[in-house]
Structure 1
Amino acid sequence: MTLLLMAAGSGTRYGKLKQFDDLGPKGEFLMEFGIYDALKNGFDHVVVITKKDQVEFVEEHLRERLPANIKLDVLAQEITDIPDGATFDIDRQKPWGTAHAVWTARKVIDGPFAVINADDFYGQSAYKNAADFIRAHRDDNTYALVGYTLRDTLSEHGSVSRGVCQVEGDNLLSVDERLKLEPDGDKVKDLDSGNTYSGEEHVSMNFWICKPSIFSKIESEFRTFLADKELGMKSELYIPKTIQEMLQAGEIKVKVVPSEGDWFGVTYSSDREKAVADLQEKTDAGKYDSPLWK
């Protein structure tokens, strides 16, 4: 089983590359705890998507730590990586988005895989539940979202972006990407639209379980995206949107798998103190070795 980590963000609100901040008790990166939890549950292939100038650093860092039997691929998400025959003539510096990050791995993944953000902590049970789902659905075209509760994924220090889900039973019906969610009393408000949420809604934290069929879908969407100069100037390709289009076209089914664990992230620099304390507490409780890698 493959774990794909998206680690190409710029950390604009955090102030530096948060995916490589030493948050663990022995200086570990937050993503190392996700890799550790995944390996404990049978994942044996790690793919990291990062910036071109970080590839060598990340590969050396992880190869020194991961068990020898774990396959590792570290790939650069590059703005010049576009579908064959496609072109773009715009001045764009920012990456194409999370769906493009996933598409970057198209040549190294040929089976079911889980996708996570490198700067989020998802909880140990989330990886167990993801692994169990992959084993149960290895040969069909059922995708999954490892879901969290909106209220539990907010920051005390500013607005956050979340995919708010509509769910029926354990079936995902849709994902509505909201970019500026903040606590509002006992509710949650989206500052862009003015929509108010109870806080109990399922949300996507970009922990997806996908099949290789997503690569061709992303490529098709990417071609359409590049053909629209206005989109190409400022917009991005998002994983939830791609999966939702596949779902609505009847190409896949998408289940919601409860994480049954705690999530935290480091959107803002002021989130760092709590993340460090949480990782120390979990290590002190014996949930993680210290140092993490023996």
Structure 2
Amino acid sequence: MKTALLIMAAGIGSRFGGGIKQLEPVDKNNHIIMDYSIHDAIEAGFNEVVFIIRKDIEDEFKEVIGNRIADVCANHGVTVDYAFQDIHDIPGNLPEGRTKPWGTGQAVLAAKNIIDTPFVVINADDYYGKEAFKLVHEYLVNGGKSCMAGFVLKNTLSDNGSVTRGICKMDDSNNLTEVVETKNIVKIEDGARADEAVLDLDSLVSMNMWGLTPDFLDVLESGFEVFFDEEVPENPLKAEYLIPTFIGKLLEQEKNQVKVLRTDDTWYGMTYKEDAETVKESFQGMLENGVYEEDLFADL
């Protein structure tokens, strides 16, 4: 069965410290987080990779990442495609002065004419772990429609500052009922807190790893038209069309059902420049423990 990995990399020009965080090497062989995600997706059974980027970074992206990944994928029967997120690709006129991208919902819609199979969508600069890809792939190939990898809160926190996480509420069947965006989450000696509220470290949170089907893209496209009619006029320069927000609205209206798939793997990201060293040490540990090969793709 054909299944695709969508990687949202249009924001790859976003800077952190002295470099581009999505291109920060995490091991001595200069692999980046995206390499590990692609490895884990192929290992889980995904057989198409779609990079969602901006047209203006296409040449540089292919030189630094794309061509190398295309060679790896060709050796494993995996296809590589590109979708281009464009601020002008909207159901209306671009508001005067608008320079901010339209968000993850529009990013995924950029791939609508490429994707005709179940898919998983991820951020380019987040490490999700092997288990999440396996769970999502298994759910999709067995006929599941919409799912989300649920990460344990304690496995997603930073030692270097506060983070924002979408804490999941679920019914007894692990169907998502609500994602509560919670800001200013920090580690404390015996757990975590957000402002004055103490949080359950074993809560499941959304890290924007969604398993979806082509049917969802039609719904997402219709929702973008509504967003443009209703929300953009109220905030023309900053309104964003975000997948978690849109799915939340569908849940409220009982128009969608999303299965939460718990993973106990640790999520890694570089929210802060200081996170880079911790992330590199973690990848070195995984290499030393045989989770990955030094020659990353050799075991596929």
TM-score by length of 2: 0.87
- For the residues of structure 1 that align with 2:164 and 2:67, how far apart are their CA atoms? 32
2:72 is aligned, of 60, 65, 68, to: 65
Contact 1:166 1:172 in 2 (8 A): yes
1:219 is matched with which residue? 221
1:102 aligns with 2:108: yes
Report the alpha carbon displacement of residue 137 of structure 1 after superposing the two structures with TM: 1.9
The AA in structure 2 aligned to 1:137 is: G
- For the residues of structure 2 that align with 1:89 and 1:208, how far apart are their CA atoms? 30
DSSP-derived class of the 1:148 partner: strand
Contact 2:155 2:265 in 1 (8 A): no
Provide the aligned C-alpha RMSD in A: 2.1
1:19 is matched with which residue? 22
Report the alpha carbon displacement of residue 255 of structure 1 after superposing the two structures with TM: 0.7
1:238 is aligned, of 242, 260, 263, to: 242
CA deviations over 1:24-61 (Å, ceiling 9, x no partner): 33101101101101111111001111233332323323
DSSP-derived class of the 2:101 partner: coil
2:37 is matched with which residue? 34
CA deviations over 1:262-285 (Å, ceiling 9, x no partner): 211111111111111111221222
Pair 1:23–1:81, CA change in 2 (3 A): same
The AA in structure 2 aligned to 1:4 is: L
Contact 2:148 2:209 in 1 (8 A): yes
TM-score by length of 1: 0.89
DSSP-derived class of the 1:120 partner: coil
Pair 1:154–1:269, CA change in 2 (3 A): same
- For the residues of structure 2 that align with 1:91 and 1:166, how far apart are their CA atoms? 38
CA deviations over 1:122-159 (Å, ceiling 9, x no partner): 11111111111112225xxx311110112221111122
- For the residues of structure 2 that align with 1:214 and 1:14, how far apart are their CA atoms? 37
1:229 aligns with 2:233: yes
- For the residues of structure 1 that align with 2:15 and 2:99, how far apart are their CA atoms? 14
1:208 aligns with 2:216: no
1:288 is matched with which residue? 292
1:249 aligns with 2:249: no
- For the residues of structure 2 that align with 1:214 and 1:231, how far apart are their CA atoms? 26
Contact 1:157 1:271 in 2 (8 A): yes
Pair 1:195–1:221, CA change in 2 (3 A): farther
Structure 2: give runs of 5+ residues left out of the alignment.
Answer: none
- For the residues of structure 2 that align with 1:217 and 1:196, how far apart are their CA atoms? 37
After superposition, residues 86-97 of structure 1 pair within 5 angstroms as: 86-97=92-103
The list of structure 1 runs, each at least 4 consecutive aligned residues, that deviate by more than 6 angstroms after superposition, is: none
1:171 is matched with which residue? 175
Report the alpha carbon displacement of residue 185 of structure 1 after superposing the two structures with TM: 4.7
The AA in structure 1 aligned to 2:254 is: G
CA deviations over 1:231-261 (Å, ceiling 9, x no partner): 3311311111111222233332111111132
DSSP-derived class of the 2:164 partner: strand
Structure 1: give runs of 5+ residues left out of the alignment.
Answer: none
- For the residues of structure 1 that align with 2:183 and 2:68, how far apart are their CA atoms? 33
Percent identity, please.
33
2:88 is matched with which residue? 80
Report the alpha carbon displacement of residue 62 of structure 1 after superposing the two structures with TM: 1.9
The AA in structure 2 aligned to 1:46 is: V
- For the residues of structure 2 that align with 1:16 and 1:214, how far apart are their CA atoms? 35
Pair 1:145–1:276, CA change in 2 (3 A): same
Contact 2:129 2:266 in 1 (8 A): yes
Pair 1:186–1:50, CA change in 2 (3 A): farther
Contact 1:167 1:202 in 2 (8 A): no
- For the residues of structure 1 that align with 2:159 and 2:42, how far apart are their CA atoms? 32
The AA in structure 2 aligned to 1:173 is: T
The AA in structure 1 aligned to 2:222 is: S
